[in-house]
Amino acid sequence: MRSALAFLFLATLTNCSQKENSIKPQAQVLKRSEIATINYDSCKAVILLNKKSQQGRWTKISKQEKEKIFTSAVAETIIPAWIGTAWDFNGTSEKPQQGNIACGYFVTTILRDAGLSLARIKLAQCASEQMITSLVQSKYIQRFSQVKIEDFIQSIKGQGYGLYIVGLDNHTGFIYNDGKEIHFIHSTFIGTRNVQKENAATNWILEKSKYKVLGKISADEKVLDRWIN
């Protein structure tokens, strides 16, 4: 049974990681957006399968391992499909590479599709600080006022590997510390005006925001237990 499960997981993972141009439809020519949806559905299936395989051992593994499993599901499995999806202030798309998505909807849609139960629309329409405090316990939230970007980045480095939600003056997104680099992943309203994964230390929006709220969602044990169940 275990070997069968492992085989199914690997097969689904392979499908999830396929490049779009490697999919060769046999009966019809699929549009780029349709191919992206196929891959995205596979990615969500990988996460669900992995969660089921982890449930029996969840109480026995370390918090660090739980955090890594959750962070990988969000940052490495779900988010990549959205890179390049167009931004719009009123965007509410639920499918990558189709339509537009606003910054708040980007955050809540990603978390939902990674397997975390939440009020996607209600939280997306909240002020970013309210969204963060609704999702993350206060002990995992930090607030920064008028701090230099270098000090902000240093604080993230000090907290270590993991996934964070960041709320800014008029924006929100994810901070991903992969252990080597600090990334700002967001649906940006300037420049490319689409979903981007950028160097947090040199990001103009992060630097210019006078007020920052940072919630380390991957460190929150309540979030991790909600996610696995």
Q: Is the pLDDT of residue 26 over 80?
A: no
Mean per-residue pLDDT of the chain: 89
Pairing of strands 86-87, 100-101: parallel
| Residue in 12, 38, 44 with CA at minimum distance from that of residue 24 | 38
pLDDT value of position 18: 43
Q: Where do the structural domains in the chain lie, given as residue ranges?
A: 2-228
* Structural tokens at position 93: 């798309």
Task: Decide: 117 and 80 in contact? Cβ < 8 Å.
Answer: no
Burial of 161 (0-12, 13-18, 19+ CB in 10 A): middle
pLDDT value of position 31: 56
Task: Decide: 165 and 223 in contact? Cβ < 8 Å.
Answer: no
pLDDT value of position 24: 38
| pTM of this prediction exceeds 0.75 | yes
pLDDT value of position 29: 52
Which residue do the tokens 């559905």 mark?
41
Q: Is the pLDDT of residue 163 over 80?
A: yes
pLDDT value of position 116: 98
| Residue in 78, 142, 149 with CA at minimum distance from that of residue 115 | 78
